Amino acid sequence: MQTGEIRFFNPSENTDVVPQKRSKKPATLTGYISTTGKLVLPNKTVEQLGLNLDGMTFKVGAQAGKRTAKLLYLVPADSGDSSAFEVVKAAKSYSISLPFILQKNGIDYVTQKYTFVISSFDFDGGVTGYSLKLNKPAEKTGKVGRPKAE
């Protein structure tokens, strides 16, 4: 046998080389507006934000001078602040009830389904606020599932 026909190994080939993983794209943090006019933040989104919302309150705002809100802003507030809204814990989410404010700002949550994307921003004094960019509304469909047997 000729030496050109044999492939010899190198000791460096005898190591377990782990391929480099691609860096993950940051997850899109989303929520939605319920049919009762609540901003709903799923537990998964809250965990990714790194927040502990138990007993927390937020000031809620929108862009000044706009008839229809396309962005909502949440800024953490002191629990004694009279202009702050309380965050309520549900089974798999957290919510802030804003039915009349949403209606007054042109958000028809009863007939259309709204979702939003959450991003953080720096507010006055080093406070981290959150902007909720509303996606285009989708028409709500009727009942889902099998029809009742008659």
Short-list 87, 77, 94, 91, CA closest to 42: 94
14-60 pLDDT, tens digit each: 777 666 666 666 678 899 999 999 999 999 999 998 888 888 899 99
In a domain? residue 1: no
Of 61, 56, 25, 26, the C-alpha closest to 41 is 56
pLDDT digits (tens, 9 = 90+) for 52-91: 888 889 999 888 888 888 899 999 888 788 888 999 998 8
13 found inside a domain: no
Cα–Cα distance for residue pair 107/68, rounded to 1 Å: 7
> Does any domain span residue 133?
yes
Domain that holds residue 93: 30-139
Question: With DSSP H G I counted as helix, E B as strand and the rest as coil, what are the percentages for the chain, rounded to 5?
Answer: 15, 35, 50
In a domain, 147, yes or no: no
Element at 101 (helix H, strand E): helix 99-104
- Kindly state whether residue 150 falls inside one of the protein's structural domains: no
Assigned domain for 17 exists: no
Instruction: Decide if 51 is inside a domain.
Output: yes
